[in-house]
Structure 1
Amino acid sequence: MNRLLIALCACLWAVTGHADTVSVAVAANFSAPMQKLAAAFEQSTGHKVKVSLGSTGRFYAQIKNGAPFQVFLAADDETPAKLEQEGLGVQGTRFTYAVGQLALWSAQTGLVDPQGQVLKTGAFPKIALAEPKLAPYGQAAVQAMTQLGLLHALQPRWVLGENIAQTYQFVATGNAPLGFVALSQVYAEGRFTQGSGWIVPADLYTPIRQGALLLNAGKDQPAAQAFMRFLQSPTARAIIRAHAYKN
């Protein structure tokens, strides 16, 4: 019995001894799928995931200043490319893990029509969007308003969120009656989960290609390397598609 107990303890030590934690900086729009991805990854590998959510622009600045993130999941592909070029990411590890979609959304039923004509009627005092200088979804919103010829008319009504998560909160709480959010935040199973919304046509903005990059801090970390592989697996891709992203 003692030998069996010792053997079991040795096996447990071997398993836990090789388990590690990967620190992932994640664009705020990707919060919901990231929770499921982390759970699936932990279950399949035994590794743990430490998730930090925020804006892509702020993460870039933090990584430049030495923040010890091991993996970066951005809301664009330009920022990971820049970090790779600047020697802060591992060459050849960058790839597009998701393509985001933009939505105009309100927590109020019936406020946003399926064609987005509410933008032209202007029957609202405020409109929320993520800070365009920091958040790719904010940049996409500006592009859409520009293409529609409404930028100058709507700009005085802007309420800017630091990232897309804060932008969503502005609209969900009624601080802004409507706003541009990530479709993944408000859409599931082929419909808006609450309120009213318009899926902004993809030809009104540059595709929101979201890039992943293994950062230098994760270069020799098994958990970080394993997470990058997992993110490209059929299991991960199915989770991402289920949250209104393309990949």
Structure 2
Amino acid sequence: MLNRLFGLLLICMWSGAAVAAPLRIAVAANFAPTLEKLAAHYATLGGVSPELVRGSSGKLYAQIRQGAPFDMFFSADIARPKALEESGFVIDGSRQDYARGRLVLWPVNKDGQRELAAFHYSRFAIANPRLAPYGRAAQDVLRHFKLEKAAAKRLVVGENIAQAYQFVHSKNADAGLLARAQMPPSSTDYWLISDDWHRPIRQQRVVLTRCDDIEAARAFLMFLQTDVAKQIIRNDGYQLPTLEGAE
């Protein structure tokens, strides 16, 4: 039913109309590759593919507060969308969860828990806890294993989770606590971290009050509720939102 409504909405929006300017979406680095896939599929259905600006949630949040011309914001947390809402930057009712992230240790040889607890790494990558929700979750995991002191002088801190991944991928770090979504589908050399060891990585999106095309934003958000969009999100290693709402 939702897929049919989405199709009808696109027909109403684009039939006989001039080509609209693309939505400009600020997106957290971890979700940017997934949103690119979603945007590409959206274009095949007749929608205008959004323009994506990726970065750490913290930096994008600061840019929005300074007047950056974004229509929507896909954050990697709930705190920054909520703060923007409370400050009047967000259209009422648009703040909602869109995904829940998972954390992994990568790479691992055999026993991820034992390898992390031993912490024999000379360089270990995480995202910046002050800027990136995945970094805060990584910090929680290190605290769970009582590794704060052992890790303090060995951490290689990325501005966001994408940079943390690059540290490991380029061998500038031995391993790291990274996003499950960054692991290739065929990869098996990672260990999925228990959700019980860190605060939930609830990711929220908002439509910003400076958005010039509310109908276009509404159509894109409706597309994200279709079965095909949900499957793309799942395939990239995310969990779908629970019924917790915006909060």
TM-score higher than 0.5 here?
Answer: yes
TM-score normalized by the length of structure 1: 0.87
Paired position in structure 1 for 2:39: 38
Paired position in structure 1 for 2:227: 234
Structure 1: runs of 5+ lacking an equivalent: 1-12
- Shift of residue 222 of structure 1? 2.7
Distance change >3 Å, CA 181–CA 219, structure 1 → 2: same
Q: How large is the Cα RMSD of the aligned pairs?
A: 1.7
Query: How far apart are the structure 2 equivalents of 1:65 and 1:199?
Result: 37
Distance change >3 Å, CA 88–CA 112, structure 1 → 2: farther
Partner of 1:53, secondary structure, is strand
Letter in 2 for 1:115: G
Q: Between Structure 1 and Structure 2, whose CA radius of gyration is higher?
A: 1
- Shift of residue 220 of structure 1? 3.9
Q: Is the 8 A contact 2:105 2:190 kept in 1?
A: yes
1:52-91 equivalences under 5 Å are: 52-91=53-92
Paired position in structure 2 for 1:171: 168
Higher share of residues assigned strand: 1
Partner of 2:199, secondary structure, is coil
Structure 1, residues 126-167: CA drift from partner, whole Å, max 9, x if none? 100000000000000000111111122112110000000111
Q: Is the 8 A contact 2:102 2:179 kept in 1?
A: yes
Q: Is the 8 A contact 1:23 1:50 kept in 2?
A: yes
Q: Is the 8 A contact 2:105 2:112 kept in 1?
A: no
- Shift of residue 48 of structure 1? 2.5
Aligned length: 227
Percent of residue pairs bearing the same amino acid type:
40
Partner of 1:21, secondary structure, is coil
Paired position in structure 1 for 2:197: 204
Distance change >3 Å, CA 44–CA 230, structure 1 → 2: same
Distance change >3 Å, CA 87–CA 112, structure 1 → 2: farther
- Are 1:101 and 2:102 matched, yes or no? yes
- Shift of residue 240 of structure 1? 0.3
Query: How far apart are the structure 2 equivalents of 1:98 and 1:52?
Result: 18
- Are 1:135 and 2:136 matched, yes or no? no
TM-score normalized by the length of structure 2: 0.87
- Are 1:161 and 2:158 matched, yes or no? yes
Paired position in structure 2 for 1:192: 187
Query: How far apart are the structure 1 equivalents of 2:32 and 2:111?
Result: 26
Runs (4+) of structure 1 moved beyond 4 Å? Answer: 13-16
Query: How far apart are the structure 2 equivalents of 1:187 and 1:62?
Result: 31
Letter in 1 for 2:155: W
- Shift of residue 173 of structure 1? 0.4
Letter in 1 for 2:119: G
Query: How far apart are the structure 2 equivalents of 1:69 and 1:167?
Result: 25
Q: Is the 8 A contact 1:126 1:159 kept in 2?
A: yes
Paired position in structure 1 for 2:110: 113
Paired position in structure 1 for 2:4: none
Query: How far apart are the structure 1 equivalents of 2:88 and 2:100?
Result: 25
Partner of 1:149, secondary structure, is coil
Paired position in structure 2 for 1:7: none
Partner of 1:17, secondary structure, is coil
Higher share of residues assigned helix: 1
Query: How far apart are the structure 1 equivalents of 2:17 and 2:143?
Result: 54
- Shift of residue 17 of structure 1? 0.1
Query: How far apart are the structure 2 equivalents of 1:15 and 1:181?
Result: 46
- Shift of residue 225 of structure 1? 2.3
Structure 2: runs of 5+ lacking an equivalent: 1-13, 241-247
